[in-house]
């Protein structure tokens, strides 16, 4: 699938028709996208999807088989890494263990022959910028993982590159440090205004840090969009499944449309969806996120009623089969006669479960909002 992030003429980074083959294996298939100056873009996908290969092609570390890469309107497709304008941070930090922090940061500055006073001033500025002003005399082994990654960032931006490349920079850190540092990295990127491309397999990391996300799978781009777009409006079943939790339910399109909405048969009940473009009788996958399922009290629906005033749309009676406490919410497994053999996963807030006195075995009415019920062709589920 070929998509463009931006199409305007002033795109800072432009990739057109990029392919990469390793022998008979095609790692990238006709990738085209554009990134504007100052954007923070994440390449997101599972292992082997091609995201790191694409980053390395941008850096010149693995030249593409065919296709072009332009940076600041300059064709860099065949330039060696040393002639490209970027800084890079790796998962492993790649700091020189035998050099002090100051020397690690100043390494590139010394190589271009910058005067010593200018180097000292720049290193001092960068240590302040990453919040480690007193660590310059230490060696990498004396710093924590999070501190080392900050130094790696400082070294990457020391030469004021036009492009910052981050290859899973936080994945080696423990969970709390990772959450803290991703906010710091994003704040630093905003402060510098530097165009940034980050590779990650962590969906939460991409959602919290990126201006736009490029979701990749099997060497192609599945979808490009803002974090909200990607999460709320997945273009394919793969994206719906990969980003966040998702119920995937075997379903079929019912014969007639109702008020412009698409009727879907799930289990023994007809639900309405805001999707379109499917034929009556077509086998589909209906997808709904657990947090989009709305609980209602037992009086929200009249049993057997066809058109009850104020009855929630797509209302259904269910029984709570299991409950799992996950801190800020309860994850529940729901069953019901109208669902047939299907089980639904729903996430309910702690307040809602307390207010409705939800327990295993409790009965309640749930609502599946039509605008949140996404429909995909069944054949798209093969990879998901």
Residue of 15, 182, 342, 384 whose CA lies nearest to 333? 342
pLDDT tens digits, residue range 137-162? 999 999 999 999 999 999 999 999 99
Q: What is the CATH number of domain 245-382?
A: 2.40.50.100
Q: Which residues pair with 329 in a beta bridge?
A: 349
**pLDDT one digit per residue (tens) for the chain, 384 residues:** 444 444 445 799 999 999 999 999 999 999 999 999 999 999 999 999 999 999 999 999 999 999 999 999 999 999 999 999 999 999 888 899 999 999 999 999 998 888 999 999 999 999 999 999 999 999 999 999 999 999 999 999 999 999 999 999 988 888 888 898 999 999 999 999 999 999 999 999 999 999 999 999 999 999 999 999 999 999 999 999 999 899 999 999 987 665 678 999 999 999 999 888 888 889 999 999 999 999 997 654 544 444 444 667 899 999 999 999 999 999 999 999 999 999 999 999 999 999 999 999 999 999 999 999 999 998 744 343
Q: Which residues pair with 223 in a beta bridge?
A: 215
> 11: number of CA atoms within 13 Å, CB side?
17
* Domain residue extents for the chain: 13-241, 245-382
Enumerate residues 6+ apart whose C-beta is below 8 A from 359: 320, 323
Q: With contact defined as beta carbons under 8 Å apart, do 191 and 199 qualify? A: no
pLDDT tens digits, residue range 219-232? 999 999 999 999 99
Alpha-carbon span 375 to 372, nearest angstrom: 10
pLDDT tens digits, residue range 232-252? 999 999 999 999 899 999 999
> 146: number of CA atoms within 13 Å, CB side?
15
**Three-class SS state of 99:** coil
Enumerate residues 6+ apart whose C-beta is below 8 A from 126: 105, 154, 157, 158
Residue of 29, 9, 20, 104 whose CA lies nearest to 63? 20
13-241 sits in which CATH class?
Answer: alpha beta
Task: Give the tokens for residue 61.
Answer: 């570390």
Give the predicted TM-score (pTM) of the model: 0.88
Alpha helices (H) along the chain = 51-59, 101-111, 116-129, 145-157, 175-192, 203-209, 227-232, 237-242, 350-355
């Amino acid at each position: 699938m070929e998509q463009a992030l931006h199409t305007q003429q002033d795109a800072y980074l432009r990739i057109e028709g990029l392919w990469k083959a390793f022998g008979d294996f095609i790692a990238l298939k006709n990738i085209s996208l554009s990134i504007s100056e100052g954007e923070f873009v994440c390449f997101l996908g599972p292992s082997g999807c091609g995201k790191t290969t694409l980053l390395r092609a941008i850096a010149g570390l693995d030249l593409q088989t065919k296709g072009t890469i332009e940076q600041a309107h300059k064709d860099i497709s065949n330039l060696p890494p040393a002639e490209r304008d970027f800084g890079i941070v790796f998962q492993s930090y790649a700091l020189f263990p035998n050099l002090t922090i100051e020397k690690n940061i100043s390494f590139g500055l010394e190589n271009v022959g910058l005067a010593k006073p200018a180097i000292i001033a720049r290193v001092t500025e960068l240590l302040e910028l990453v919040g480690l002003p007193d660590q310059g005399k230490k060696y990498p082994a004396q710093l924590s993982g999070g501190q080392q990654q900050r130094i790696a960032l400082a070294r990457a931006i020391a030469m004021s590159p036009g492009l910052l490349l981050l290859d899973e920079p936080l994945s080696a850190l423990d969970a709390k440090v990772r959450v803290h540092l991703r906010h710091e990295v994003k704040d630093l990127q905003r402060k510098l205004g530097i165009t940034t491309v980050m590779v990650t397999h962590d969906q939460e990391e991409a959602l919290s840090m990126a201006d736009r996300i490029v979701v990749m799978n099997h060497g192609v781009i599945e979808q490009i969009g803002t974090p909200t777009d990607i999460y709320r409006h997945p273009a394919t079943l793969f994206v719906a499944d990969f980003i966040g939790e998702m119920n995937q339910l075997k379903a079929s399109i019912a014969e007639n449309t109702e008020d412009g909405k698409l009727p879907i048969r799930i289990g023994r009940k007809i639900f309405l969806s805001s999707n379109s473009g499917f034929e009556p009788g077509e086998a589909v996958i209906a997808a709904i996120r657990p947090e989009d399922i709305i609980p209602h009290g037992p009086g929200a629906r009249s049993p057997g009623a066809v058109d009850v005033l104020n009855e929630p749309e797509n209302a259904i009676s269910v029984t709570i089969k299991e409950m799992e406490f996950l801190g800020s919410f309860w994850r529940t497994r729901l069953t019901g006669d109208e669902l047939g053999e299907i089980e639904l996963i729903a996430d309910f807030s702690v307040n809602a479960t307390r207010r409705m006195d939800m327990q295993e075995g409790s009965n309640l009415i749930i609502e599946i909002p039509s605008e949140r019920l996404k429909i995909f062709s069944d054949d798209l589920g093969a990879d998901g």
